[in-house]
Amino acid sequence: MNITVDEMEKMTGAMSSAELASERHSRTTVGDFTAADPRMTCRNVDVWYGSKQAINGVSLDIGKNEVVSMIGPSGCGKSTFLRCLNRMNDTIDGCRVTGSIQLDGQEIYDKSLDPVPLRAQVGMVFQKPNPFPKSIYENVAYGPRIHGLTNSKAELDELVESSLEKAGLWKEVKDRLDQPGTGLSGGQQQRLCIARTIAVSPEVILMDEPCSALDPIATAIIEELIDELRANYSIAIVTHSMQQAARVSQRTAYFHLGDLIEVGETNQIFTNPQHRLTEDYITGRFG
Amino acid sequence: MYAWTLIVVLLMVMALAYHLGRKRAIASAGGVTQINTLHSLPSYYGLYAAIWAGLPALLLMGLWFGFQDQIVTSLVTANLPAEMLDGQSSGRVGLILNDIKNLATGNIVSATVTPEVQAAADQYARLARIANWAMWLAVLAVAVGGMAYAWLRTEPQMRARNRVESIFKFIMITFSSIAILTTLGIVLSVVFESFRFFQMISPLEFFLGTNWSPQIALRADQVGASGAFGAIPLFTGTLMVSLIAMLVAVPIGLMSAIYLAEYAPRNVRSIAKPVIEVLAGIPTVVYGFFAALTVAPLIRDLGALAGLNVASESALAAGLVMGIMIIPFVSSLSDDVINAVPQSMRDGSYALGATQSETIRRVIIPAALPGIVGGILLAVSRAIGETMIVVMAAGLSANLTANPLDSVTTVTVQIVTLLTGDQEFDSAKTLAAFALGLTLFLVTLVLNVIALSIVRKYREQYE
């Protein structure tokens, strides 16, 4: 890709004078980045790793009961952006986030806000299944125990069962809850991680390429699960598979080199992309 | 005609063999332009020839050095007048032979030189000279023979590269067996000496007796030298000192490892970790006098303030200082296993809204626990075997006590005292050191085996 900033600007249309005046060279995103009933709202989010800028002024909403997928070539910043939403980037040395990210109207980067309970509200499922080296039961009970969500052993048992049930794993593991979670198959492990996340009843679930380490059958099961989970949670999913984005999400955001290039209804993005970069990517010309 | 001259000559022969072998390979291929018809590169034919010239000759030389003296000595002994050796103990005979050798090589002789000894020495010198010349001839003959053999075998189809490969493998095997055989030799020598000890003192008394007083009376009426070999006080003393050491080292080492691995910013870590590891580099003798001259008096004075009677050489002082010495073992091994816990475990825990200390307590420590336990066991075996600190700070009196303020002694201290100075090596007193050494060796061996198997099991978890 040999596109200069000038060319990019021509493609994305004229920038407003306010943006030209600003120090950031943030670009206008094509399409409507707001959601009708937003749970999380992000405005002009910049992320820096040391002196290197990874995200340029991204604005995006995540609505209630919807799945937003983020696609784009490797290194485009989609995972970085996702990790901002539950402040997981705090654990990385030299990472700095500016701009506004709100969860239900509450600024999550506010100095007075403690990131620890935030992460219970905004759960996360990782690329590689990462069950703790504990039993299946303990994996799911981990979060509720830490947050004191249950008052008795019976309540905890119930919560573990319902979480595993929601993650579609209960039938497969109900007879071996005391066995190590690491002994499950890759797909089962990932569903265990989803159950673990559900157990602390989050509002938003972030998924960072949740199926990239799984075979097609396990992937299909997880995709079906994501669609079911939409009824109760808001979901943001980063994926490298455009088919997956098309199958599971209602809205799709296309990232490129730290910029949010285009966002819109999934159908529209995949059938009628407005931006040339988006079109190039989804038609497989690069990426 | 020194041995090293022969080695230099041999090296020269090998260089020649390399050169000739290489040239012959090229010639047999039909010149430099035809090298690609050879099975291997020419230098491999050279190496092959050099190895054939050098290796058998060196082996022969080694054997010669091993047996020449024995053969010459037995020849000389056979020629000695029978009355000189009759009725003499093997020790006396050894002394006479030593004199003969010393006389032959021009060293100082312990006894007066009789004509018989002079004659034997002359014979010894003559035989040694002959043997030396014979060795030169034999070794060089073998070297040239080896070279000739390689020369004859050199032809384009010979798989010189593969042969050199298998010879190198053989050399590696030889060297690693040296290390293994040495270990075996040490163990066997300790085992045999211990066996001699247990013929004199019953193992029951040794392992179950509570009275340790290894001095054996030289005269029948000597006081206070009964020769009691009950090693229980030594074992309990060792145990107590090691326990105190671990009580110091495990919490401090583990906590500092957790801090360094989980909390410390990179710049703090880059300074603090080497500083802690400096503790491992301090010679134990320095720890020893730190314990004996600084810590022990301090504890005694503090004890006096509290109205306690503290021995000036207390188990507590030795244990505390030994604990400090062991901190870096525990901390750096724990640091390694904590760092080996994948970042994804931490991420998983943080993403569920756990704090850093909850993550450490509930995820990282349980995941790293087998490795930490392995590290601690390795540190324990280090503590049990540690000698210098306890020699200087723990004392010599074998008290069977549970009071850390008392003076105790340890297995290692007793081994040192039993073997220091001029000793006869056939009394129960000195042989007891081997029995103690064997016990120590077995205990640390078992601890190490357990530790390593735990560590290995832990490794499998993430693979």
All domains in chain B, ordered by first residue: 3-158 (no CATH), 214-460 (1.10.3720.10)
pLDDT of residue A9: 43
More confident residue, B93 or B22: B22
The alpha carbon of B326 is separated from its chain's Cα centroid by a whole number of angstroms, namely 20
Nearest by CB to A119, which of B265, B346, B352?
B352
- Identify the bridge partners of residue A135 per DSSP, sorted by sequence position: A180
Question: How far does A228 lie from chain B, in Å, by closest CA?
Answer: 21
Is B357's Cβ below 8 Å from some Cβ in A?
Answer: no
Question: How far does B341 lie from chain A, in Å, by closest CA?
Answer: 10
pLDDT of residue B78: 81
Question: How far does B344 lie from chain A, in Å, by closest CA?
Answer: 6
Nearest by CB to A200, which of B350, B352, B461?
B352
Residue B18: other Cβ atoms inside 10 A: 22
pLDDT of residue B71: 87
Sign (positive or negative) of CA dihedral B288, B289, B291, B292? positive
pLDDT of residue A7: 44
- Residue pair B316/B402 in contact (Cβ under 8 Å)? The answer is no
Confidence class of residue B463 from pLDDT cuts 50, 70 and 90?
very low
For B215, the 3-state DSSP assignment is strand
pLDDT of residue A4: 44
- Residue pair A72/A97 in contact (Cβ under 8 Å)? The answer is no
Confidence class of residue B118 from pLDDT cuts 50, 70 and 90?
confident
| Mean of pLDDT values over A175-189 | 90
Hey, of A84, A125, A142, which one would you mutate to test binding to chain B, going by the most B CBs within 10 A of its CB? Answer: A142
Q: Distance between CA atoms of A173 and B105, rounded to whole angstroms?
A: 85
Confidence class of residue A215 from pLDDT cuts 50, 70 and 90?
confident
Q: Could you tell me what percent of chain A has a pLDDT over 90?
A: 49
pLDDT of residue A93: 79
Is A95's Cβ below 8 Å from some Cβ in B?
Answer: no
Task: Convert the pLDDT of each residue in B342-383 to its tens digit.
Answer: 889 999 999 999 999 999 999 998 888 888 888 898 899 889
pLDDT of residue B421: 73
- Residue pair B396/B420 in contact (Cβ under 8 Å)? The answer is no
- Residue pair A81/A75 in contact (Cβ under 8 Å)? The answer is no
Q: DSSP character for B291?
A: I
Give the largest Cα separation in chain A, rounded: 64
Amino acid at B275: V
Which residues in chain B are contacts of A200 at CB distance < 8 A? 352-353
pLDDT of residue A191: 92
Q: In the structure, how many helices (H) and strands (E) does chain B have?
A: 18, 2
- Residue pair B447/B354 in contact (Cβ under 8 Å)? The answer is no
Q: Could you tell me what percent of chain B has a pLDDT over 90?
A: 33
Nearest of B6, B45, B39 to residue B24 by alpha carbon: B45
Task: Convert the pLDDT of each residue in A49-79 to its tens digit.
Answer: 888 889 988 999 999 999 999 999 888 888 9
Given a cut of 90, whether residue B307 has pLDDT beyond it is no
Q: Which two tokens stand for residue B404?
A: 């850390």
More confident residue, A19 or A216: A216
Nearest of B401, B413, B229, B213 to residue B311 by alpha carbon: B401
Q: Which two tokens stand for residue B234?
A: 């030594």
pLDDT of residue A163: 93
Q: Which residues contact A31 (CB under 8 A, 6 or more apart)?
A: A262, A263, A264, A268, A269, A274
Q: Which two tokens stand for residue A285?
A: 């010309």
Q: Distance between CA atoms of B399 and B315, rounded to whole angstroms?
A: 11
| Mean of pLDDT values over A102-122 | 89
Question: How far does B261 lie from chain A, in Å, by closest CA?
Answer: 14
Please report, to the nearest 10 degrees, the dihedral formed by the alpha carbons of residues B153, B156, B162, B168 taken in order.
50
Nearest of B121, B78, B71 to residue B99 by alpha carbon: B121
**What are the residue ranges of helices labelled H in B34-159?**
42-79, 82-85, 90-105, 115-153
Sign (positive or negative) of CA dihedral A154, A160, A163, A168? negative
Sign (positive or negative) of CA dihedral B40, B42, B43, B46? positive
pLDDT of residue B177: 95
| Mean of pLDDT values over B237-265 | 92
Flag the least confident range among A62-66, B105-109, B290-294: B105-109
Is B203's Cβ below 8 Å from some Cβ in A?
Answer: no
More confident residue, B431 or A28: B431
Nearest by CB to B353, which of A116, A126, A128?
A116
Q: Distance between CA atoms of B409 and B391, rounded to whole angstroms?
A: 8
In total, the C-beta contacts within 8 angstroms joining chain A to chain B are 68
- Residue pair A131/A193 in contact (Cβ under 8 Å)? The answer is yes
Amino acid at B260: L
- Identify the bridge partners of residue A255 per DSSP, sorted by sequence position: A260
pLDDT of residue B259: 93
Q: How far apart are the first and last CA of chain B?
A: 60
Hey, of A108, A124, A130, which one would you mutate to test binding to chain B, going by the most B CBs within 10 A of its CB? Answer: A130
Q: Distance between CA atoms of B451 and B375, rounded to whole angstroms?
A: 7
Which residues in chain B are contacts of A196 at CB distance < 8 A? 348, 352
Task: Convert the pLDDT of each residue in B176-223 to its tens digit.
Answer: 999 999 999 999 999 998 998 898 888 888 888 888 887 765 555 655
Q: Distance between CA atoms of A168 and A164, rounded to whole angstroms?
A: 6
pLDDT of residue A60: 92
Is B349's Cβ below 8 Å from some Cβ in A?
Answer: yes
- Residue pair B57/B14 in contact (Cβ under 8 Å)? The answer is no
Given a cut of 90, whether residue A20 has pLDDT beyond it is no
Burial code of B159-182, b = ≥16 C-beta within 10 A, e = fewer? ebbebbeeeeeeeeeeeeeeeeee
Given a cut of 60, whether residue A147 has pLDDT beyond it is yes
Q: Which two tokens stand for residue A122?
A: 């905004």
Given a cut of 70, whether residue A3 has pLDDT beyond it is no
Confidence class of residue A22 from pLDDT cuts 50, 70 and 90?
very low
| Mean of pLDDT values over A180-205 | 92
Amino acid at B61: M
Q: Which residues contact B327 (CB under 8 A, 6 or more apart)?
A: B248, B249, B252, B253, B256, B276, B279
Which residues in chain A are contacts of B367 at CB distance < 8 A? 132-133
Q: Which helix (H) or strand (E) holds A106?
A: strand A106-107
Q: CA triplet B365, B369, B374: central angle to 5 degrees?
A: 145
| Mean of pLDDT values over A216-235 | 91
pLDDT of residue B221: 61
Half-sphere exposure of A242 (CA within 13 A, CB side): 17
Q: Which two tokens stand for residue A7?
A: 């060319």
pLDDT of residue B216: 63
Going across the sheet that includes A38-49, the strands are A52-63, A38-49, A95-103, A106-107
Contact B345 A91 (CB under 8 A): no
Residue B124: other Cβ atoms inside 10 A: 23
pLDDT of residue B220: 57
Contact B352 A130 (CB under 8 A): no
Sequence spans of domains, chain A: 5-282
Q: Distance between CA atoms of B389 and B398, rounded to whole angstroms?
A: 17
Q: Across chain B, what does the average pLDDT equal?
A: 86
More confident residue, B370 or B224: B370
Confidence class of residue B32 from pLDDT cuts 50, 70 and 90?
confident
| Mean of pLDDT values over B151-173 | 89
Q: Which residues contact B116 (CB under 8 A, 6 or more apart)?
A: B80, B81, B84
Task: Convert the pLDDT of each residue in A39-49 to its tens digit.
Answer: 999 999 999 98
pLDDT of residue B225: 54
Given a cut of 90, whether residue B243 has pLDDT beyond it is yes
| Mean of pLDDT values over B232-245 | 92
Nearest of A3, A34, A30 to residue A15 by alpha carbon: A30
- Residue pair B54/B14 in contact (Cβ under 8 Å)? The answer is yes
Confidence class of residue B119 from pLDDT cuts 50, 70 and 90?
confident
Nearest of A186, A245, A180, A183 to residue A213 by alpha carbon: A186
The alpha carbon of A62 is separated from its chain's Cα centroid by a whole number of angstroms, namely 10
- Residue pair A72/A287 in contact (Cβ under 8 Å)? The answer is yes
pLDDT of residue B228: 80
pLDDT of residue B124: 86
- Tell me the CATH number of domain A5-282, given options 3.10.520.10, 3.30.70.1450, 3.40.50.300, 1.10.1060.10: 3.40.50.300
Which residues in chain B are contacts of A131 at CB distance < 8 A? 348
Task: Convert the pLDDT of each residue in A257-280 to its tens digit.
Answer: 888 999 999 999 999 888 888 888
Nearest by CB to A146, which of B348, B358, B461?
B358
